[in-house]
Amino acid sequence: MNWFLSNNERMCDMTKYSIGLDFGTLSGRAVLVNLENGEEAAESIYEYPHAVMTESLHGKVPLEDDWALQDPKDYLEVLSHTIPDVLRKSGVRPEDVTGVGVDFTSCTILPVLSDGTPLCFKEEYKNCPHAYVKLWKHNAAQKQADKINSLGEKWLKRYGGKTSAQWTFAKILQVLEENEEIYRKADRFIEAADWIVWQLTGKERRSSCTAGYKALWSKKDGYPGKEFFKKLNPKMENVIEEKITTDVLPVGSKAGEINGYAARLTGLKEGTAVAAGVIDAHAAVPAVGIDGPGKMLLILGTSACHIIMGKEEREVPGICGVAEDGVLPGLFGYEAGQSCVGDMFAWFIKNCVPESYMREAEGKNMNIHELLREKAQKLKVGESGLLALDWWDGNRSTLVDTDLAGLILGLNLRTKPEEIYRALIEAAAYGTKIIIDTYEENGIEINEIRAAGGIAEKDSMMMQIYADVTNREIKISGSPQASALGSAIYGAYAGGYFETVSKAIEVMGKLKDTVYRPCAEDSRKYDEIYREYKRLYDYFGKENSVMKRLKSLK
C-alpha cells in the first residue's frame, strides 16, 4: 500500500462499484453504483440515433402496419458512450468495477451469424427488414401467434393460455414464412439482452429470465419439444438446436467476463464479471427492495409490467407467464402487463390536443403534459362521463390479443381534451386492476404495490388515480433508474461482492418516503365505473370481434 495516500484517498481506493446497463425503447443508460451503500455515483443516457422504425427502414424501405424495428448499431453506441461517461464523471477506476449487469426491453430479438454479427450489418441485407431487430412492440406476428395458440399445447397454461405476437417464436415463424432466406442464413435468433452479454464477453449466453418468459423455456421441462415445432412448421423441427441453444443460465449468475473487444469499446478492465441478461421490467424488482412473495412491482413507462414472486407455480389465465428463477433465485416470478401506457398519452398529445392548449402551456412555461394534468386534476371522479379501453397497442394481459384496439365511450360536443386525457389515465389504471384481480383470483397474494419507471417517478396525479382505482397503497422506487439499478445489483452479485442476491438487495435496493394512499370516497366511485369498464372489456375482448373486423378492413 502507498502509505503517502490520504485517508480519503485510501477509502476511495477500497470502494467497489458495479454498473447497470438498461436498454429501453428509445435510449440506453448506464448507472454506476457504490456497493458499500447503494448510492448511485454517476449515470449516463444515450438516445438511439435511429429510434424506433415503424413506417420505413432507414427512410428507404416501407414497413407494413404493426412493425417496429431497431438498428443494433445504436446498442453498441450506448456501450461506447455511457460506460466511459460514468467512469469519467465519477472518477472511478475501471479496476474498481467488480461487475456489470444488463437489462433490455423484451421480447426484442435479432437474427445473427455464429460469431454474433447481426445480419443487418451485412451489405446484402442492409435493406431487408427481417434482418433487423424486432422490438418488443413489433405486433406484426399476430397470425403466427394465433397458429401457435391453435395447437393447444399443455405448456400454454404456464403462459396464461396464449402466447403473444410479441414473443420469440411468433417472430421467428414470421421470418420463416415471409423471408426464408433470412431464416436459413441466421445461425441464431437471440434476445437483445443476451446479445449485449455476447458483445461484452464474446460468449453466447441465455438467461432463465429472457428464455423463461418469451421463449417458452422452463427450468423443469426445458423448451417445447421437436414435435411441437414440426407441427408449427416442418422447417422449424430443430429450431432449438439450430437457432437457439439449450444452455440457459440462472438469473444473476456470471455469464462471462469483459473481453478485449469490450474493454476497448467501454474502457472497462478485461476480466470484469458480466451477469446473465435480464428483462428490463424484471430488473427493477430488486431495485425497489422486493426479495420475496406478496409485493407486486408495477413498472410504468411506454408500457407497463406487473411482476410478483411466488413460492410455487400456479396457473393464472391471461398472464405473460411464470418462470422459476426468472427474476430472483429460488422463486417463481409471475409477469403480466399492458402494451400501451405512456405511448397512449403520447399519441393523444401528438394527434388530439388543439393549438390553443399548446399556446396556453407555452404561456405558463409548462410542457403540454403538465398543463393537461393541471386541468385534469380539477375534475372529480366520473365528472367527464367518459370511459376508455386502454388497447391502443392491443392487449397483453389478460386477453393476449394485439388485434384489439382502443375505445373512448361517452364523447359529446362539450368534451374537453383534459377529460379525454384523464379518461385514458383511468383506463390504464383499470387495466392494472384487471391484472391484480386475476392474480388474486388464482391464488397469488398481493399485500403491497411498489412502483417504478418514469411515470411513477414524475406523475403524482396518475399515481394517486392508480391508488384510488386499485384501493391500495403504492410505494415509489428510490431510484429514477430502477431497471439500471437492478441490473447493477445482479452485476454486483455476479462479480462476487455479495454472497446472495438478497444481501445485495438489502444494501442497494431502495424506496422513497412517498406513499400514495387511496381516498375512500374516490375508490367507491371508481369501483362503480370499473364495473362498467369490465363489461366493455369482456364484450369487446371476448364477445364481439368488431375491432378485429375493422382492422382486417384497414
Beta strands in 39-167 (DSSP E): 40-47, 56-57, 61-62, 69-70, 97-104, 109-112, 133-134
What's the rounded Cα separation, in Å, for the pair 502 and 449? 19
Q: Which residue type occupies 376? A: A
- The class of domain 342-477+519-553 in CATH terms is alpha beta
**Can you point out the beta strands (E) in 236-347?**
248-249, 254-257, 273-275, 278-279, 295-300, 304-310, 321-324, 332-338
pLDDT at 156: 94
60 is written with which cell numbers? 428507404
- Closest by CA to 129, choosing from 216, 221, 44, 58, is 58
Rounded to an integer, the average pLDDT of 273-300 is: 97
Domain 14-288+478-513: homologous superfamily in CATH:
ATPase, nucleotide binding domain (3.30.420.40)
Alpha-carbon gap, residue 389 to 405, rounded angstroms? 8
At residue 216, does pLDDT exceed 80? yes
- Which among 194, 190, 140, 150 is positioned nearest to 170, based on CA atoms? 140
Same fold, 14-288+478-513 and 342-477+519-553: yes
How far apart (Å, rounded) are the C-alpha atoms in residues 246 and 58? 35
To which residue does cell 394527434 refer?
Answer: 351
pLDDT in tens, 491-524: 999 999 999 999 999 999 999 999 999 999 999 9
DSSP-derived letter for residue 518 is -
How far apart CA 380 and CA 519 sit, in angstroms, is 12
What angle is formed at CA 277 by the lines to CA 236 and CA 267, rounded to 5 degrees?
125
**Greatest alpha-carbon span in the chain:** 79
What is the pLDDT at residue 554? Answer: 85
Render pLDDT for 438-463 as a digit per residue (tens, 0 to 9): 999 999 999 999 999 999 999 999 99
**CA-based end-to-end distance of the chain:** 72
**DSSP strand pairing (304-310 vs 295-300):** antiparallel
pLDDT in tens, 73-97: 999 999 999 999 999 999 999 999 9
CB within 8 A of 503, min separation 6: which ones? none
Indicate whether 6 pLDDT > 60.
no
- Residue-wise pLDDT tens digits, 240-261: 999 999 999 999 999 999 999 9
pLDDT digits (tens, 9 = 90+) for 27-62: 999 999 999 999 999 999 999 999 999 999 999 999
Name the pLDDT band for 5 (thresholds 50, 70, 90). very low
Single-letter amino acid, residue 351: N
Torsion of CA 40, 44, 50, 51, to 10 degrees: 40
Tell me the average pLDDT of the chain: 95
Question: Looking at the chain, how many residues does it have?
Answer: 554
Q: What cell does 336 get?
A: 403480466
Residue 3 has pLDDT above 90, yes or no: no
**Could you tell me which residues come within 8 angstroms of residue 310 by beta carbon, excluding any fewer than 6 positions away?**
293, 322, 331, 332, 333, 334, 444
Interatomic CA distance for residues 441 and 319, integer angstroms: 13
Residue type (1 letter), 263:
A
Q: Given a cut of 50, is residue 12 above it in pLDDT? A: no
Best CA proximity match to 524, nearest among 385, 380, 350:
380
Reported confidence tier of residue 13, pLDDT bands at 50, 70, 90: low
10, pLDDT greater than 60: no
Tell me the C-alpha distance between 107 and 96, whole Å.
33
Cell numbers given for 417 = 381534451
Give the residue carrying C-alpha cell 473487444.
261
Percentage of the chain lying above the pLDDT 70 cut: 98
Alpha carbon distance 334, 346 (integer Å)? 28
Mean pLDDT score, 3-15: 46
Cell numbers of 187, please? 445461425
- pLDDT (0 to 100) of residue 4: 32
Q: What is the pLDDT of residue 102?
A: 98
| Closest CA relative to residue 398, chosen from 542, 523, 535 | 542
Whether 300 and 451 have beta carbons less than 8 Å apart is answered as yes
DSSP letter at 380 equals P
Question: Does residue 9 carry a pLDDT above 90?
Answer: no
Helix (H) or strand (E) holding 504: helix 501-508
Position 209 pLDDT exceeds 80? yes
Query: Which residues make Cβ contacts (< 8 Å) with residue 384, sequence separation at least 6?
Result: 410, 415, 416, 419, 420, 422, 423
Q: Return the domain boundaries, the chain.
A: 14-288+478-513, 342-477+519-553
Nearest Cα to Cα of residue 138 among 351, 431, 402 = 402
